[in-house]
């Protein structure tokens, strides 16, 4: 019975397996669309033929089915290519390898969506061809989005701010350059000019375009075209001298494909490309890749009559066919069948000779598409697997420098490791690290056969001198002004600028143009706006770096610090009859007086019993204590100390007195000899709280700052145009039509105070800013001059220029504080604490010794019960105080007499007994 069941099961399994095998068609038709006569197309044609034969020869791939590839030449020629592609779609095919051109891919993708035919493109790199808009478009190569990320990273690595993009004005060109612009903006770089070419550009078109490019500022040129026009551009650029020192050319991967396929090129072609950079899609080295490369010569002889080499797009074309074959195998395993249904939309259309009604929907298209997205294998290009966005994982590029008769790899870029000189595969097993600090490339031989990194820009119009605006000041002319006699501009700011320019590694032609009517200081905000709108190329002078201005222009590194301060009149303090009391605060005076009395009392207690000078009637003893206390202030006490404890306490007290006396003397000397200043305005807070008028310099940003940031009513502000007006307004005061204070930048105020001693800076500097030279946004000159200013600061030249213009005899105070502080208790509490501890310990030891003597004497004088009871009565304290008042010598005599009496009494008792 079991044998019968087994036979039935085996028979059923065989039937099912045979049914599954027989459900696979004998031939699977696949289409291929690319341009046969192109750098990519010639290589792709051979690679696709080789992949088809390798797949059909391997029975483990499609297992009984053969793949047939029908090829169509789209020519990448716009309308005609689209028509041919539509005609090609009339055949019943399950997938298409291609198209090669992004322009056609945009149109055919709509048809593929309608007919559910997957498009597997190995060369359409337009970044806008996404699976969101075109679900049946599968890119089996890297998107130009990643190539543009790599180029932007290179631009950022070499610190170039602007680039010029030359590209074809088609979908692939526009969208690729748009991706480059986004990548540059992310790194705070930009495309300064987009130079568009028609797809059929002639040499005359290229010449006219490059002449425009040569007159522009940027010297970093990104070239995103095809090989035919690209080589023409290099030839014309070489003719115009644009392949010389100072230029940077970066070509997209069209050039690496051309070099890989055509090498070795003739010397004339190589000469016009020396020093440029290009990118190549990175493919990992492997045995599979090496085996395919070694077969290439035989493959070209078998499938083509031309002699060309393999490029990276040929590798991707080969892997694309294999990817489709593996997806078809999975499709059949999942029960997929090749069947088509009519599309009612196309059936109703009158297609004419296009026969649109012949097009049909691939029923299993979605299942096959899903199997394509799930493919995961290692091909000749490396690991082939898609991420969630439909892009191949680990996009990477080789960075190539064209040198001599060939080229060399200077590094790699990947979205996992950034720029490196190691292959991207070495980083995939390590944690993600995109820090710019880790970016590194080998040295480059640039155009002009130099290894020095090009600056990346020149002055517009080939060295046209810069128009630099300078404020024509009528006050504080030491900073910058136009000389009435000679008409030249001079001053501190001009000297700093010329010194910085002399440090630049290139000549800087410029012309200084005064700005202002010479009647009043000009508006600095208006001067900055003129730079933003292009009336001036730059501005130098005493121009403060203010937040709202940095939104319009770029500043250099500050060459002088100059925050806002308050200038106010000050009053001199005159000493009076009670000036001697000022060194100490009231609290200090009180505590010091109490301590003098304490030291007298402590010494009296310690000396009273053994020192005759501290004995006598109560009135005399009080006078002695008071005299002794205050005489120690001058070290003039005549009473000596006999006890050890008294001497210890007195020595410590003498040290305390020495410190107090020295501090008092120093403070009083300062009060009587150093000029003390005061002002009713203590700082910005008290100035804001008052309602008195405030002066400011005409043209300064201080006006807007006080109104917008400090909320001071504009009605309180009074414009002042010169140092003389400062002094006059401050002397008049707010009640006589003047001002209570002037708010201005520190540099101006310091210069004013050098000759005006009646005024001073009150409070502290309440803004932190400086002066810098102004340039348009993203101007490379601001960076170079900032470096030069830092060099001037480091070598001391900046300080020497400052001393040349501003060092003079004056009355500028070394401190902003205008009130001296008195001496307070907090400065001496530690000293007083030591003294207090010494006194307490001395008194404690003294009372212990006294109590011991008192009890010893009391035991000797106990003769009867009545005396014993008296010791325990309430008069014990009175007796102790009387004992403490006795002289030490008398106590000792009484003790000796008591001892003798006790010995005599004991002898009598012994005799009677």
Q: Is 847's pLDDT higher than 80?
A: no
Q: Is 716's pLDDT higher than 60?
A: yes
What lies within 8 Å, CB to CB, of 760 at 6+ separation is 567, 568, 570, 677, 679, 753, 813, 816, 818
Would strands 66-73 and 277-281 be described as parallel, antiparallel, or unpaired? unpaired
- Phi, psi (degrees; rounded to nearest 5) at 277: -110, 150
pLDDT above 90 as % of the chain? 46
Mean pLDDT of 454-462: 77
Q: Is 68's pLDDT higher than 90?
A: yes
- Residues 621 and 636: their CA atoms lie apart, in Å, by 18
- Identify whether 264 is preceded by a cis peptide bond (ω within 30 of 0): yes
Mean pLDDT of 111-136: 92
Could you give the residue ranges of the DSSP H alpha helices within 26-135? 39-57, 79-88, 102-115
Would strands 360-362 and 382-384 be described as parallel, antiparallel, or unpaired? unpaired
Q: Is 626's pLDDT higher than 80?
A: no
- Residues 395 and 418: their CA atoms lie apart, in Å, by 11
pLDDT in tens, 364-375: 999 999 999 999
- Residues 2 and 9: their CA atoms lie apart, in Å, by 11
pLDDT in tens, 408-453: 999 999 999 899 999 999 998 888 888 888 899 999 999 999 999 9
Q: 141 and 384 in contact (C-beta within 8 Å)?
A: no
Mean pLDDT of 771-787: 90
CA distances from 230 to 166, 234, 239, 814, 886 (A): 10, 6, 14, 68, 122
Q: Is 467's pLDDT higher than 60?
A: yes
pLDDT of residue 671: 66
Mean pLDDT of 812-819: 40
What tokens were used for 16? Answer: 């099912």
484 vs 561, residue with greater confidence: 561
Confidence of residue 508 (pLDDT cuts 50, 70, 90): confident
pLDDT of residue 866: 45
Mean pLDDT of 712-720: 91
User: Whole-angstrom distance between the N-terminal and C-terminal Cα of the chain?
Assistant: 141
SS3 content of the chain, % helix, strand, coil (to 5): 50, 15, 35
pTM for the structure as a whole: 0.70
Q: 345 and 114 in contact (C-beta within 8 Å)?
A: yes
pLDDT of residue 871: 43
What tokens were used for 421? Answer: 């000189």
pLDDT of residue 735: 86
CA 85 to chain CA centroid, nearest Å: 52
pLDDT in tens, 654-700: 778 788 777 777 776 766 655 455 567 778 888 888 888 999 998 88
Count CB-CB contacts under 10 A for residue 578: 7
Confidence of residue 29 (pLDDT cuts 50, 70, 90): very high
pLDDT of residue 719: 92
Q: Which residue has the tokens 């779609």?
A: 89
Mean pLDDT of 266-290: 95
Q: Which residue has the tokens 């090129």?
A: 265
Q: Which residue has the tokens 């130098």?
A: 540
Give the angle 183-188-192 at the CA atoms, nearest 5°: 80
Confidence of residue 55 (pLDDT cuts 50, 70, 90): very high
3-state secondary structure of 906: helix
pLDDT of residue 411: 97
Mean pLDDT of 768-794: 90
Q: 142 and 125 in contact (C-beta within 8 Å)?
A: yes
CA distances from 895 to 643, 784, 856 (A): 20, 100, 8
Q: 629 and 599 in contact (C-beta within 8 Å)?
A: yes
pLDDT of residue 885: 62
pLDDT of residue 21: 47
- Residues 531 and 537: their CA atoms lie apart, in Å, by 6
pLDDT of residue 124: 94
Q: Is 354's pLDDT higher than 60?
A: no
Confidence of residue 862 (pLDDT cuts 50, 70, 90): low
What lies within 8 Å, CB to CB, of 463 at 6+ separation is 507, 509
Ordered DSSP codes for 606-625 = HHTTT-GGG-S-HHHHHHHH
Please state at what angle helix 312-333 crosses helix 39-57, rounded to 10 degrees: 40
pLDDT of residue 219: 94
Q: What is the CA radius of gyration of the chain?
A: 50
pLDDT of residue 863: 45
Mean pLDDT of 722-726: 90
Confidence of residue 18 (pLDDT cuts 50, 70, 90): very low
98, 104, 107, 108 alpha-carbon torsion, rounded to 10°: -20
Mean pLDDT of 769-774: 92
- Residues 147 and 254: their CA atoms lie apart, in Å, by 11
4 vs 847, residue with greater confidence: 847
- Residues 175 and 732: their CA atoms lie apart, in Å, by 69
User: What's the whole-number average pLDDT of the chain?
Assistant: 83
522: which DSSP letter?
P
Q: 741 and 687 in contact (C-beta within 8 Å)?
A: yes
Confidence of residue 873 (pLDDT cuts 50, 70, 90): very low
What lies within 8 Å, CB to CB, of 94 at 6+ separation is 28, 29, 30, 117, 118, 328, 338, 362, 364, 365, 368
Point out which residues pair with 29 in neighbouring strands. Answer: 68
Mean pLDDT of 627-649: 68
Instruction: Name the helix (H) or strand (E) containing 689.
Output: helix 684-689
CA distances from 590 to 173, 415, 624, 720, 851 (A): 90, 77, 21, 51, 34
Confidence of residue 762 (pLDDT cuts 50, 70, 90): confident
Please state at what angle helix 797-806 crosses helix 492-501, rounded to 10 degrees: 160
pLDDT in tens, 576-607: 556 666 677 788 878 877 887 787 778 777 77
Q: 752 and 567 in contact (C-beta within 8 Å)?
A: yes
Please state at what angle helix 644-673 crosses helix 586-607, rounded to 10 degrees: 160
What residue ranges in 597-709 does DSSP mark as E strands? 676-678, 694-697
Burial class (CB in 10 A: 0-12, 13-18, 19+), 826: exposed
pLDDT of residue 221: 97
What lies within 8 Å, CB to CB, of 472 at 6+ separation is 481, 482, 514, 515, 516, 517, 518, 522
pLDDT in tens, 69-115: 999 888 776 566 667 667 777 778 899 998 999 988 998 888 889 88
- Residues 196 and 176: their CA atoms lie apart, in Å, by 12
pLDDT of residue 382: 94
Would strands 382-384 and 377-379 be described as parallel, antiparallel, or unpaired? antiparallel
- Identify whether 13 is preceded by a cis peptide bond (ω within 30 of 0): no
764 vs 870, residue with greater confidence: 764
Q: 583 and 671 in contact (C-beta within 8 Å)?
A: yes
pLDDT of residue 613: 67
């Amino acid at each position: 019975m079991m044998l019968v069941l087994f036979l039935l099961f085996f028979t059923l399994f065989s039937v099912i397996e045979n049914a599954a095998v027989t459900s696979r068609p004998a031939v699977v038709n696949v289409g291929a669309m690319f341009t046969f006569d192109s750098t990519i197309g010639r290589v792709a044609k051979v690679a696709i033929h080789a992949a088809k034969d390798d797949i059909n020869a391997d029975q483990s791939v499609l297992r009984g089915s053969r793949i047939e590839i029908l090829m169509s030449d789209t020519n990448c020629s716009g309308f005609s290519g689209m028509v041919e592609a539509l005609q090609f779609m009339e055949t019943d095919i399950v997938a298409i390898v291609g198209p090669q051109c992004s322009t056609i891919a945009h149109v055919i993708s709509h048809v593929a969506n309608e007919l559910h035919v997957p498009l597997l493109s190995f060369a359409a790199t337009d970044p806008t061809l996404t699976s969101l808009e075109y679900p049946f478009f599968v890119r089996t190569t890297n998107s130009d989005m990643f190539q543009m990320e790599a180029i932007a990273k290179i631009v950022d690595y070499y610190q170039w701010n602007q680039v010029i993009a030359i590209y074809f004005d088609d979908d692939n060109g526009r969208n690729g350059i748009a991706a480059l612009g986004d990548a540059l903006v992310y790194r705070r770089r930009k495309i300064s000019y987009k130079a568009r070419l028609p797809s059929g550009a002639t040499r005359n078109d290229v010449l006219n375009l490059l002449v425009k490019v040569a007159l522009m500022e940027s010297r970093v040129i990104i070239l995103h075209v095809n090989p035919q026009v690209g080589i023409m551009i290099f030839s014309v650029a070489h003719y115009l001298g644009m392949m010389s020192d100072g230029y940077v050319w970066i070509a997209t991967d069209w050039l690496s494909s051309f070099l890989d396929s055509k090498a070795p090129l003739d010397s004339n072609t190589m000469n016009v490309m020396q020093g440029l950079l290009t990118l190549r899609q990175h493919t990992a080295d492997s045995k599979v890749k090496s085996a395919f490369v070694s077969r290439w010569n035989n493959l070209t002889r078998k499938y083509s009559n031309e002699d060309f080499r393999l490029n990276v797009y040929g590798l991707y074309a080969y892997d694309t066919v294999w990817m489709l074959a593996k997806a078809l195998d999975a499709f059949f395993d999942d029960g997929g069948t090749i069947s088509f249904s009519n599309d009612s939309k196309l059936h109703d259309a009158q297609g004419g000779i296009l026969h649109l009604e012949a097009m049909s929907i691939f029923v299993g298209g979605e299942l096959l598409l899903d199997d394509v997205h799930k493919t995961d294998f290692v091909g000749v290009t490396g690991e082939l697997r898609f991420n969630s966005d439909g892009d191949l994982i680990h996009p990477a590029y080789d960075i190539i420098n064209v040198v001599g008769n060939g080229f060399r790899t200077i590094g790699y870029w990947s979205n996992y490791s950034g720029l490196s000189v190691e292959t991207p595969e070495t980083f995939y097993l390590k944690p993600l690290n995109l820090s710019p600090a880790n970016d590194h490339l080998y040295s480059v031989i640039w155009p002009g056969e130099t290894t020095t990194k090009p600056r990346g820009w020149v002055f517009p119009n080939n060295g046209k001198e810069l128009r630099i605006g300078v404020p024509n000041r009528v006050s504080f002319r030491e900073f910058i002004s136009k000389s009435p006699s000679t008409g030249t501009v001079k001053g501190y700011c001009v000297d700093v600028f010329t010194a910085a320019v002399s440090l630049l590694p290139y000549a800087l032609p410029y012309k200084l143009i005064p700005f202002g009517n010479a009647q009043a200081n000009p508006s600095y905000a208006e001067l900055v706006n003129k730079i933003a709108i292009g009336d001036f190329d730059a501005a130098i002078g005493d121009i403060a770096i203010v937040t709202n201005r940095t939104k319009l222009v770029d500043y250099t590194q500050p060459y002088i610090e100059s925050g806002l301060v308050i200038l106010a009149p000050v009053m001199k303090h005159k000493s009076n009859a009670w000036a001697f009391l000022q060194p100490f605060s009231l609290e200090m005076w009180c505590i010091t007086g109490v301590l003098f009395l304490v030291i007298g009392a402590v010494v009296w207690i310690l000396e009273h019993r053994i020192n005759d000078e501290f004995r006598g009637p109560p009135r005399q003893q009080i006078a002695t204590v008071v005299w002794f206390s205050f005489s120690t202030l001058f070290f003039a006490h005549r009473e000596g100390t006999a006890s050890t404890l008294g001497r210890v306490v007195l020595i410590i007290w003498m040290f305390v007195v020495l410190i107090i006396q020295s501090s008092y003397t120093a403070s009083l000397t300062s009060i009587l000899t150093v000029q003390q200043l005061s002002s009713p305005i203590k700082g910005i807070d008290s100035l804001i709280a008052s309602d008195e008028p405030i002066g400011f310099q005409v043209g300064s940003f201080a006006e807007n700052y006080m109104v917008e940031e400090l909320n001071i009513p504009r009605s309180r502000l009074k414009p002042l145009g010169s140092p003389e007006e400062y002094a006059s307004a401050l002397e008049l005061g707010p009640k006589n039509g003047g001002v209570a204070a002037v708010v201005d930048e520190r540099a101006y105020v310091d210069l004013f105070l050098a000759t005006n001693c009646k005024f001073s800076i009150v409070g502290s500097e309440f803004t932190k800013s400086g002066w810098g030279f102004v340039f348009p946004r993203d101007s490379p000159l601001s960076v170079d001059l900032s470096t030069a200013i830092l060099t001037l600061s480091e070598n001391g030249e900046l300080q020497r220029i400052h001393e040349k213009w501003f060092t003079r005899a004056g009355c500028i105070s070394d401190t902003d504080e205008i009130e001296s502080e008195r001496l307070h208790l907090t400065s001496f509490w530690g000293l007083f604490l030591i003294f207090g501890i010494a006194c307490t310990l001395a008194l404690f030891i003294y009372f212990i010794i006294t109590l011991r003597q008192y009890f010893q004497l009391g035991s000797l004088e106990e003769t009867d019960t009545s005396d014993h009871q008296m010791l325990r009565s309430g008069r014990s304290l009175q007796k102790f105080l009387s004992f403490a008042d006795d002289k030490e010598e008398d106590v000792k005599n009484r003790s000796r007499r008591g001892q003798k009496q006790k010995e005599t009494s004991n002898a009598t008792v012994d005799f009677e007994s």
